Amino acid sequence: MRGSPLLRAVLVVLALLALLAPLRTLTNRRSEAAPSLQQAAQSSAAKKKIRLELTSTTAPFKYQITSGGQPIWSGESDSPIAATDLELEFPPEGIDLVLDASWVEQKLTAVRLALTPQGSDTMAKTIWGTTNVSEVLTFQQEK
Amino acid sequence: MIIVRGLVASLLIGAAFVRPVQAAETLKIASFSTVLTEIAQRVGGAHVTVAGLVRPGQDPHEYQPTPADLEQAADAKLILLSGKHLEHYLDKIQQATGGKAESLAVGDALPTLKMQADPDEPQAKEAADPNGMIDDPHWWNSVANVERATVIVRDTLIKLDQADRTDYEENAKTYLAKLDALNNWAKRKVAELPRDKRKLVTSHDAFQYLARDYGFKIYAIEGVSTETEPSDRHVAELIDDIKKQQVKAIFLENTLNPKVTREITSESGARIGGSLYADGLGDGDGSTYEGLVRHNISTIVDALQ
């Protein structure tokens, strides 16, 4: 290659500078995408209107339903059936509800928790106990 | 004369003390699993002497029996093995014991999940099916499996020592009640975490049984250790997976290259959720099985919330 050494040095520097921009894009690509994870992680499943119905073969009975570590419905019922409507996140993976119920009389009792998302079929689980029941119940909609 | 009388008296007193010791001779057990060591101690109680040859904190995948370990195994009446191809030194044990001791591979009697065989482990390659899959040996990460293992150990102790049957049954009942309470606690703790957030990214594919029991989906970081430098492509794929699955935290063992850890966490937005006991009992919280389960479940749930 002919030409002055100074000109050749300038050309090399220019070529290196031209490479800088694509290199920077390549190395920063993953970092720029990182915040989207945080945003996506926070966008939880949409809330759905859900009807919960508790049936106990022994009354009166006390009850508490917990979801995600928080009590969402509790009380005492003199009749064998108690029901409520509330809004809950119901992802395709399903939900776990913790059912705690107790009654004074020592008697083998069945407690049924029925869950009906608005516009969907009812799902129900039944558990048995002598003075109380305490269990995690999983509800998943059929795919 | 006085000296002779004294000697006779001493001998008689000595004999009185020797007799109960002979009567209380214990059943010798050699255990090659930290979890089985605990089960044998809890169920066997005072009737057994358990030599835990794989010690807490020791990696059972890497363990090799020492001559002293093999001597203890040869001296035992019962040898407890984890099973599911974990003990790649079985021939050494058989050689040492001459097949005299009762050998019980507890895991082999438990339901199996499959995992990809490590191509670098010749033993795993031999045991693999045509699709390269082997039995996942980490059965102890399911409390329900540990309950089943307790029943198996109880029945074997009764078979070997009928005289102490009642004690074994009573001890097993107490231990099983504790395991049942532990399992209920774990279910309630996991229920705090919405099911769509139950995504477990770990550096060691050891939690399939836990995942099955508590509704987690596993994303194992495979081929990433201090010994191997993962390719950029591998790390990039991993980061993409973590982003796609919206995983908030990943769980790593100390074998992971710290540089890779930093890259994965900084670029995926996930954070380190803490360390888990993957391969059995260890130091600290994991020195008992109950402590191990409480630590693992709490660490996972708290980090993913």
What was the pLDDT predicted at B256?
59
Q: Do A34 and B267 count as a contact with CB atoms less than 8 A apart?
A: yes
Predicted confidence band at B20 (pLDDT cuts at 50, 70, 90)?
very low
Give the pLDDT of residue B234: 74
Does residue A87 contact residue A50 with C-beta atoms inside 8 Å? yes
Q: Do B184 and A89 touch (CB under 8 A)?
A: no
Give A19 to chain B, closest Cα distance, Å: 21
Q: What is the CA radius of gyration of chain A?
A: 31
CB-closest option in A35, A41, A93 to B195: A93
Judged by a CB distance cut-off of 8 A, whether residue B194 touches chain A is: yes
In whole angstroms, what is the distance from residue B288 CA to residue B34 CA? 9
Strands B249-251 and B199-202 turn out to be: parallel
CA angle, residues B87, B93, B96, in degrees to nearest 5:
170
> A36 in contact with B at a CB cutoff of 8 Å?
yes
* Two structure tokens written together for A54: 């508790």
Confidence band of B254 (pLDDT split at 50, 70, 90): low
B138-194 per-position pLDDT tens digit: 999 999 999 999 999 999 999 999 999 999 999 999 999 999 999 999 999 999 999
Residues of A in contact with B196 (CB under 8 A): 44-45, 91-93
| C-beta atoms of B192 and A69 within 8 A | yes
Poorest-pLDDT segment among A70-74, B67-71, B132-136: B132-136
Class of domain B191-304: alpha beta
Enter the ipTM: 0.76
Q: Which DSSP helix (H) or strand (E) runs through B112?
A: none
Which one of B188, B194, B266 has the shortest CB-CB distance to A98? B188
Task: Report percent pLDDT > 70 for chain B.
Answer: 85
Q: What is the CA B101 to chain-centroid distance, rounded?
A: 22
Q: Is A21 exposed, middle or buried (0-12, 13-18, 19+ CB in 10 A)?
A: exposed
pLDDT (average), residues A48-63 = 97
Highest mean pLDDT among A132-141, B233-242, B257-266 belongs to: A132-141
Mean pLDDT of A72-84: 97
Report the CATH architecture of B25-185. Answer: 3-Layer(aba) Sandwich (3.40)
| Token code pair at residue B276 | 């888990």
So where are chain B's domains?
A: 25-185, 191-304
- The mean-pLDDT minimum among A24-33, B26-35, B182-191 falls in A24-33
Residue range B49-58, pLDDT digits in tens? 999 999 999 9
Judge whether A15 is closer than 8 Å to chain B, CB to CB: no
Query: Chain A residues with CB inside 8 Å of B246's CB?
Result: 37, 40-41
> Are A123 and A114 spatial neighbours (Cβ–Cβ below 8 Å)?
yes
B91: helix, coil or strand? helix
For the question of whether the overall pTM of this predicted structure is more than 0.90, the answer is no
Whether B95 and chain A come into contact, CB under 8 Å, resolves to no
Q: Residues 6 or more apart from B245 whose CB is under 8 A from it?
A: B199, B201, B217, B219
At A16, the pLDDT band (50, 70, 90 cuts) reads confident
Burial (0-12, 13-18, 19+ Cβ within 10 Å), B120: exposed
In angstroms, the separation between the Cα of residue B181 and the nearest Cα of chain A is 12
Domain B25-185 shares a fold with domain B191-304: yes
Q: Does B97 touch chain A (CB under 8 A)?
A: no
